[in-house]
Structure 1
Amino acid sequence: MTDHEPLELERFLPYRLSILSNRVSQAIAREYQQRFDLTMTEWRVIAVLARFDGAGLSAREVAERTEMDKVAVSRALARLVAAKRVVRRTHDGDKRRSVLLLSAKGWKIHDVVAPLAREHERELLGRLDADERRMLQRVLDKLAPV
């Protein structure tokens, strides 16, 4: 007899949310990876820079807003800058601080992928009725307030 009490992963909420997140993200990721040679992290960086266009976010702010690992964000940004999808500029003449903005190439990708992502979200939410969608939104707002 053992004193161990293994987690039932298939019933463990963090595990289930992680699996769901991976499935949802991977479904759309396949398309933009094939079309634009874009990783999931790179797409999220593009999406955040688009969302806060004009603000000129630092790499640290991008990592904070995406809640992704700083090293992963840094690698993604390096690739995006090298591919001329993101532009790095100095912040108001302060050479110690750089800000990141989408380039025309970055916006072009965003303007193709964002509608695909929205359509994917509509299809996913279409599996729920109106009451379930409202409940899901309330639960998400409670568990992960924006």
Structure 2
Amino acid sequence: MAKHEVIAFALADFFPYRLAVLAEHVSQAVAQLYGDRFQITRAEWRVLAALGANNGMAAKDIGAYSTLDKMQVSRAVARLEEAGLITRATDDADRRAKILTLTGSGRALFQKIVPLAQAREDYLLEDLDPKERAVLDKAMAKVLARAQGLIERG
């Protein structure tokens, strides 16, 4: 390749970029819901949802489950704890670890948000017929598996 040769590349057509744009817009569309109505951030919602779906988790496991980094989890946990929505207790199996669970208020908030979030999901997918939804699910699973394989290989 010549020193000044330009490689043709259209970011707007690059699959990882298009997927990131889609993910960000979908996430923002749902975040409007809990941000505007319930004054919680995307990270706080992900922690709340992880705990609600799993009936509690070790703090160290929330990051991988929710795709949040350690600092995002830490800030979200602190804010949710301060708001009385979660509690932490020492894990009997590992005394150094903390198990986070929803309080009654946290569970009530989770139960208010879930149907609203599911309604947003339904709206986003409304133009897809059942066959298209199945193809989308299958395609996403295949791409995820390939991405995980690349990550594992390095």
Q: TM-score, normalised by structure 1?
A: 0.90
AA aligned to 1:58 is A
The alpha-carbon deviation at position 8 of structure 1 amounts to 1.3
How far, CA to CA, are the matches of 1:143 and 1:39 in structure 2?
28
1:75 pairs with 2:65: no
AA aligned to 1:27 is A
Partner in structure 2 of residue 31 of structure 1 = 33
Q: Is the 8 A contact 2:86 2:102 kept in 1?
A: yes
What residue ranges of structure 1 are gaps of 5+ in the alignment? none
The alpha-carbon deviation at position 3 of structure 1 amounts to 2.1
AA aligned to 1:91 is D
Aligned ranges 1:1-146 → 2 under 5 Å: 2-5=4-7, 7-53=9-55, 56-92=56-92, 95-145=95-145
SS at match of 1:144: helix
How far, CA to CA, are the matches of 1:113 and 1:25 in structure 2?
14
AA aligned to 2:59 is A
Q: Is the 8 A contact 2:80 2:86 kept in 1?
A: yes
Higher Rg of the two aligned structures = 2
How far, CA to CA, are the matches of 1:16 and 1:4 in structure 2?
22
The alpha-carbon deviation at position 2 of structure 1 amounts to 3.2
How far, CA to CA, are the matches of 1:6 and 1:88 in structure 2?
52
AA aligned to 2:30 is I
* CA pair 102-7 structure 1, distance change in 2 beyond 3 A: farther
The alpha-carbon deviation at position 92 of structure 1 amounts to 2.0
How far, CA to CA, are the matches of 2:138 and 2:65 in structure 1?
21
SS at match of 1:101: strand
AA aligned to 2:122 is R
Ranges of 4+ aligned residues in structure 1 off by more than 4 Å: none
Q: Is the 8 A contact 2:59 2:97 kept in 1?
A: no
How far, CA to CA, are the matches of 1:116 and 1:141 in structure 2?
25
* CA RMSD, 1 decimal: 1.7
How far, CA to CA, are the matches of 2:96 and 2:69 in structure 1?
22
Q: TM-score, normalised by structure 2?
A: 0.85
- Deviation string for 1:46-72 (max 9, x for gaps)? 11111111xx31221000111221111
Identity level (%): 38
